[in-house]
Structure 1
Amino acid sequence: MAATGWLGLTSLGLVHTAISLIAVFAGIFALLRYKEITLRTGWGQVFVWTTVLTCLTGFGIFQHGGFGKPHALGIITLAALAVGALAGRGSLGKHSRYIEAIAYSASFLFHWIPSFTETLTRLPLGAPLLSSAEAPELKAITGVLLVLYLAGVALQIRRLRGTAAASPLAATTGA
């Protein structure tokens, strides 16, 4: 078992958490500023690359004994980022911009699931709010996150359609 430090995290866990927080804030800033996450913006680039690093550092964390749900989520997140990057280059046909929004928004959603899980099962120290990652409250939170994701994607697609109707060039370049 690796030595633990602040909040019961290993050194790798601390680095992983710090990088993931940068990714989350970059995603929030990208969504607030540009209404989407895309590699065409600085905040989008920070989000994507720190999310990649979050996944890679997460693969070295085995708090629960081996490969588990967080590792599977990391693989799914990397796949969503790859799809988003391909779509952002227009490589997935006429619906590339919509696919990009869906994929990057999914990777943003995927940050929140472990964020809530780890926070609520660790804090406050000594008496966490939830006893385990299987707590029914976490399933409810995940359901709310899914609804927020679907609403956010619907708003992005609506905005992209409006942009495409106003200017076909703007929809493909992000202008």
Structure 2
Amino acid sequence: MFGLTNLGSLHTLIGLVALVAGALCFFRDGAISSRTRAGQLFVWTTLITCVSGFGIFQRGGFNVAHALGIATLAVLATAVWAERGAAPGRFSPYIATVAYSLAYFFHWIPGTTETFTRFPLGAPLFSSPEDPNLEKTVGVMFLLFVLGVAVQLWRLHARRQGGAERRLA
């Protein structure tokens, strides 16, 4: 299917589930958290997507996509670690928020690359993973990631400050 192996197709399908679960978390709850069903679905499907990606070598041997999978696993582990309160005290929620968002952003890089180097059929938007226009697109996605994280951190800080003010009154 679309030049994908069976493993590649399964990997893509699970990755799409992770993206939808992450989007649901952002739109419904304002952030990803493993304390929600959608957040748990995001964490598990991200984990499965990363691990299944290590068996895909369509573009040769170990490559940037595999390294991104390793980075995603590390970021995801950091998010879960911080969310469980293991990170330095009051910074735990902030670290978890940034790490979950970064894991979500990391999903979009191969998703965009693989999709738009294949589609539209016969005239893909990008000629290869090294296409300068793809690099610009990922740059715009990174700016959206930074903006999204800033909004999440601002909301988290405001919520935490509001709670602290109520406790002091």
Match of 1:172 in 2: none
Unmatched 5+ residue regions in structure 2? Answer: 165-169
The alignment covers a number of residue pairs equal to 163
User: SS at 2:55's partner residue?
Assistant: coil
Distance 2:144 2:124 in 1: 25
Determine which of 19, 35, 38 is the counterpart of 2:33: 38
1:153 Cα shift?
0.6
Cα deviation per residue 1:95-115 (whole Å; 9 max; x = unaligned)?
010000000000000011111
Match of 1:3 in 2: none
Match of 2:19 in 1: 24
Determine which of 113, 130, 133 is the counterpart of 1:117: 113
TM-score, normalised relative to structure 2:
0.94
Distance 1:160 1:7 in 2: 42
Distance 2:87 2:135 in 1: 33
Match of 2:167 in 1: none
- Sequence identity of aligned pairs in percent? 51
Distance 2:96 2:125 in 1: 36
Match of 2:159 in 1: 163
Cα deviation per residue 1:50-105 (whole Å; 9 max; x = unaligned)?
00000001000001110000000000000000000000011112201000000000
Letter in 2 for 1:128: P
User: SS at 1:167's partner residue?
Assistant: helix
1:47 Cα shift?
0.4
TM-score, normalised relative to structure 1:
0.91
Q: Give the 4+ runs in structure 1 shifted more than 6 A.
A: none
Match of 2:122 in 1: 126
Distance 1:121 1:104 in 2: 27
Cα deviation per residue 1:114-141 (whole Å; 9 max; x = unaligned)?
1111111111223322211000111101
1:41 Cα shift?
0.8
User: SS at 1:64's partner residue?
Assistant: coil
1:44 Cα shift?
0.6
Deviates more, 1:60-69 or 1:127-136: 127-136
